[in-house]
A and B are shown apart, each in its own frame.
Chain A
Amino acid sequence: MSALSLFTLLFVALSGGCVTLHPYERAELMTRVMSETPDAMEASFEVHVHRTREAMAGAELGEGASCGCN
């Protein structure tokens, strides 16, 4: 079983067991430290750098630009 399949199964399993939270119960999820992308411009630049050094692309946080950068 590939690593991605294992992670996906884990994600689906965790999702199925969730309870519903009221908005006032989600305070800890809304804190600054829980943000995955602190700065969109910063994330886009990093994605752009990775895409000019590696062949892998897609499913990233931030959008890389298309260019003749290779």
Chain B
Amino acid sequence: MRVQLTTLTALMARARPVAAAALIAAALLSGAASLAEERAGVRVDVYTDEWIQVVSPAIEGGFGVGAGVQVNGGYSVDVLSGATRTQTVDVVSSATTFSERRHQASLSATASRHADRSATVGYTLSAEPDYVSNVGSVGFSKEILERMATVGGTYRLGRDRFGTATGEAVEGSAINQSLELGWSHILSRRTKGSLTLAGDYSACAESLGCQSSAYRFVPVLDLGAPQSLLSLRERHPETRLRGAGALRLSQALSTELALHASYRYYADSWEVRGHTASLAAARTLLDERLMVRLDARGGWQRPASFYRDNYAIDGELSEQLPDYRSADPELAGVTSAMARGRVSWTWFSLGPLMEFGPNVRVARLWYRYHELEELPERDAWMIGGGASGSF
């Protein structure tokens, strides 16, 4: 059953909380306008691993509308192809080949009538044959402490609807709300830092729960009858509360060399706990026309409380059937690493008012799944390039 896009009326009804918040944010603004910026960019990113290849072209742009108002928009397509590790209903672990496209469009408007504050409203639509996501957002930022610090926040409200592209009568929806608050601070002539706190709450259809896949089945071994292997559709809890906090520091060693460091802690109601850390060095050459940046990222997470690599029962199925079961590698224990190199070249510049140039990025990713016998590791390449300019 194909999921139909929601009607404009239904979207407007769900956007009421976001619209109300946008009005409040707009009321904070008055006074002189800040300079708008015209900009445009285009790029193509490619992700490839043993199973899946994704080619993602994208464009974005922005321009000033009137005094102190900036409108930005973007569009991208994910063209997916390859094979997925899918435990089918026939209890056969198979590589199901597929090809699919996901479209994403976004639009936002930022008003900054005072130079030290701004408010933003935005909307993002993501659509693929079996999944549609509508997200509205409203945000604000304000410089404080004699413009040495900036505080800001963004609230997002989204509704996802999903089904299957195979014609099975499995469908549902999810409501997602998130709030992100940030504080960035100039610590010295050469140092700046920021603290970001984010919270997210999802309420999902009972049929599958949050983040579960209608295509995934979980093998359950019956210890009382070892020759019998059951296959149950994946099912996750109907709600999920998530939180993350990140600290970032940037240190200029000179006008041509800087270091960046970050750390993030994550926790959710499914008892996933994780840490992510990154280090980066950026250097400009040739009178700042060429910039080279090297990044290293590492992550570790423990699995969700209901995640098992192998589920087993011993006795009556109805007595021991696990309420929640998952074959999603994301919910397993994971150790990850990424090494990335990026080069950007400024072809043309006119001080801070205008610049244009291409960029290229290559990254290598490693994922090690602790409790996933069928897929203990997954390595990938991420390659991309584009050109962007501001005027």
Band of interface residues on A: 35 or more
Q: Residue of B at shortest CB range from A65? A: B126
B330 touches A59 (CB 8 A): no
Identify which of B60, B187, B330, B344 contacts A18 (C-beta below 8 A): B187
Give the chain B neighbours of A21 by CB distance below 8 A: 148, 186, 189
Known: A58-B180, A68-B131. A40 touches B257 (CB 8 A): no
A53 touches B148 (CB 8 A): no
Q: Any chain A CB within 8 A of the CB of B64?
A: no
Considering the chains assembled together, what is the distance between the CA atoms of A7 and B246 in angstroms?
Answer: 9
B242 touches A57 (CB 8 A): yes
Q: Any chain A CB within 8 A of the CB of B306?
A: no
A29 touches B200 (CB 8 A): no
Give the chain B neighbours of A59 by CB distance below 8 A: 180, 196-198, 244-246, 264
| Chain A contacts with B in 16-70, Cβ cutoff 8 A | 18-21, 25-29, 31-36, 38-42, 45-46, 49-50, 52-60, 63, 65-70
B342 touches A38 (CB 8 A): yes
A45 touches B384 (CB 8 A): yes
**In the complex, per-residue mask of A3-20: 1 if CB is within 8 Å of any chain B CB, else 0:** 110011011001100111
Considering the chains assembled together, what is the distance between the CA atoms of A45 and B196 in angstroms?
Answer: 20
13 further contact pairs, Cβ within 8 A, besides A11-B195, A66-B133: A4-B245, A15-B187, A15-B193, A28-B254, A29-B186, A32-B291, A41-B43, A45-B45, A45-B384, A49-B365, A49-B382, A58-B199, A63-B124
Inter-chain residue pair count (beta carbon < 8 A): 208
User: In the complex, what's the smallest C-beta–C-beta distance from B176 to chain A, in angstroms?
Assistant: 7
Give the chain B neighbours of A55 by CB distance below 8 A: 266, 268, 270, 272, 274, 301, 304, 330-331, 334
A67 touches B265 (CB 8 A): no
Chain B residues packing against A (C-beta within 8 Å): 41, 43, 45, 47, 56, 58, 60, 74, 76, 78, 102, 104, 124, 126, 128, 130-131, 133, 135, 145-146, 148-149, 158, 160, 162, 176, 178, 180, 185-193, 195-200, 211, 213, 242-250, 252, 254-258, 260, 263-266, 268, 270, 272, 274-276, 282-284, 288, 291, 293, 299, 301, 304, 328-331, 334, 336, 342, 344, 359, 361, 363, 365, 367, 378, 380, 382, 384, 386, 388
Chain A residues packing against B (C-beta within 8 Å): 2-4, 7-8, 10-11, 14-15, 18-21, 25-29, 31-36, 38-42, 45-46, 49-50, 52-60, 63, 65-70
A34 touches B250 (CB 8 A): yes
Considering the chains assembled together, what is the distance between the CA atoms of A58 and B148 in angstroms?
Answer: 25
User: In the complex, what's the smallest C-beta–C-beta distance from A68 to chain B, in angstroms?
Assistant: 3
Describe B's contact surface by its main secondary structure.
Answer: strand
A18 touches B186 (CB 8 A): yes
Known: A25-B189, A67-B102. A39 touches B386 (CB 8 A): yes
Considering the chains assembled together, what is the distance between the CA atoms of A6 and B191 in angstroms?
Answer: 19
Considering the chains assembled together, what is the distance between the CA atoms of A56 and B240 in angstroms?
Answer: 12
Considering the chains assembled together, what is the distance between the CA atoms of A33 and B133 in angstroms?
Answer: 35
